Amino acid sequence: MNITDVKSDPSFTFDATAYDTIVVGAGFAGAVAARELAERKGSRVAVIERRPHIAGNTYDHLDKQGVLIHEYGPHIYHTVHERVHNYLSRFTEWRDYRHEVLAFIRGEYIPVPFNLNSIEMTYDAEKAAKLNDLLVSTFGIGTKVPIIDLRKQDEPLLKELAEYVYENVFLYYTQKQWDLTPEQIDPAVTARVPVLVDRDNRYFTDTFQGMPQDGYLSLFENLLDFPGIDVFVNLDARSLMSFEQSGDGESYQAILINGRRFEGTVIYTGALDDLTGEAFGLLPYRSIDFEYDYYDTKRVQPCGTVNFTVSEDYTRTTEYTWLTGQDIEVTTVAREYSSAFTDPATQTPYYPIFSGENQAYYDRYRDLFKDLPNFHPLGRLAEYRYYNMDQIVLRALELIDELV
């Protein structure tokens, strides 16, 4: 891979004339777009990344005790899209991993999403058998039943189950995650909390799931290793890129790189508010603070991720060796604290806060760029949307289908 660390070269200047495409951001959106344009169109692509590393939010590295961790939170690969899976399989082998999540509820580890096994661990044998029989006969084995449907049943036991799951699996976790009071929680979201009429403890049921055998960073090194792609890290696009305003000042009419018009393609995977100097203010996000516990023993958790749904001020903990399969005598567990995103200089925007109002707010930013046919916002930040990795890979592939 052809990579330049701009910080270590004081004489560095970016020469836009050497490229027909500039990709901002080296996460999945940017890296897949860059590779596809170079490989399918023969483009000369500059990938500009402001962090000191590639791989975006999936970046992994060894921590101080040699455990492979994910710097920006645990990333588990899963997809139903064969195209995505075949594509990524060109750049990595897969480790067979099925993610399980347990909720820690008053001293017990209960599988979530709540399923027939969870019911047997929660209620006495007689009540659990009755509940499970009722669920299977009413909804059928293998179904996913939103608690709103349980609440609508005449059978009081099913209503009771709905209330239990709401109170013990959903409510406090959601309050912590989004900093909401119970009254502020959107009833439509609550209604979708599922109970699985099944004994499958896997968190995801997608056809393809696993973890990159040698980690995400290695996958990205292979993805970006192609003639025509130059990667620049520690380079912030805002230091190069500006825009010419239209006459009415309502939108941009040209992209400038180092003050000169750039007529090539720009794939932009950062945040639009950030790029405009927050022209209309900061788009609302939740951020996460990670704190780590280091242990001198092989394993301390019963599975990869534990959700704290009725206690603690952190939302969940992840023990990375479960995910990566790393065979090592020590272990590291990350605790996640959800926080308000208020300072882009020190915090990472993680989860966009969905609401009609925030979407309209984002649309104001999007409108600024509407008259630039060569500017393509792509990815979780640029589109102000939560996407899983596979969805972003698919979006990148489809965008390049259009462009090629």
Least separation, in Å, of the C-beta of 352 and ligand FAD?
A: 10
Residues in the chain: 404
Query: Minimum distance from CB of 237 to ligand FAD (Å)?
Result: 4
395 binds ligand FAD (CB under 6 A): no
Crossing angle for the helix pair 156-165 and 125-139, to the nearest 10 degrees: 100
Q: Is 215 in the site for ligand FAD (CB under 6 A)?
A: no
Q: Tell me how far, at minimum, the Cβ of 64 lies from ligand FAD, in Å.
A: 21
Site map (CB under 6 A) of ligand FAD, residues 238-257, x = contact: x-------------------
Indicate which single residue of 222, 387, 397, 403 sits in contact with ligand FAD (rule: CB under 6 A). 387
Rg (CA), the chain: 23
Tell me: does residue 57 bind ligand FAD (CB under 6 A). yes
Q: Does the footprint of ligand FAD cover residue 224 (CB under 6 A)?
A: no
Work out how close the CB of 241 gets to ligand FAD at its nearest, in angstroms, rounded to a whole number: 8
* CA dist list (Å): 38 to 22, 29, 57, 68: 11, 14, 23, 31
**Counting contacts by CB under 6 A, is residue 323 touching ligand FAD?**
no
On whether the CB atoms of residues 28 and 392 are closer than 8 A, the answer is yes
Distance CA 285, CA 386 (A): 11
The stretch near ligand FAD (CB under 6 A) out of 168-176, 217-225, 309-317, 387-395 is 387-395
DSSP letters, 55-98, are SGGG-EEE-TTS-EEETTS---EEES-HHHHHHHTTT--EE---
| Using rule CB under 6 A, residue 73 touches ligand FAD | yes
Contact (CB, 8 A) for 290 and 336: yes
Contact 218, 41 (CB under 8 A): no
Strand ranges (DSSP E) for 296-355?
Answer: 305-307, 316-319, 331-340, 351-352
Record the tokens describing residue 253, joined without a space. 């009419």
Binding mask 141-180 for ligand FAD (x = CB under 6 A): ----------------------------------------
In the set 389, 394, 399, 400, which binds ligand FAD (CB under 6 A)? 389
* Cα–Cα distance measured from residue 378 to residue 66, given in angstroms and rounded to the nearest whole number: 34
Using CB under 6 A as the binding criterion, the count of chain residues that bind ligand FAD stands at 34
Per CB under 6 A, which region of 60-68, 142-150, 218-226, 379-387 contacts ligand FAD? 379-387
Which C-beta is closer to ligand FAD: that of 133 or that of 179? 179
Binding of ligand FAD by 212 (CB under 6 A): no
The answer to the question of residue 349 lying near ligand FAD (CB under 6 A) is no
Q: Alpha-carbon torsion 276, 280, 286, 289, what sign? A: positive
Give contact residues for ligand FAD (rule: CB under 6 A): 24-30, 48-51, 56-58, 73-76, 236-238, 269-270, 288, 350-351, 379-381, 387-390, 392
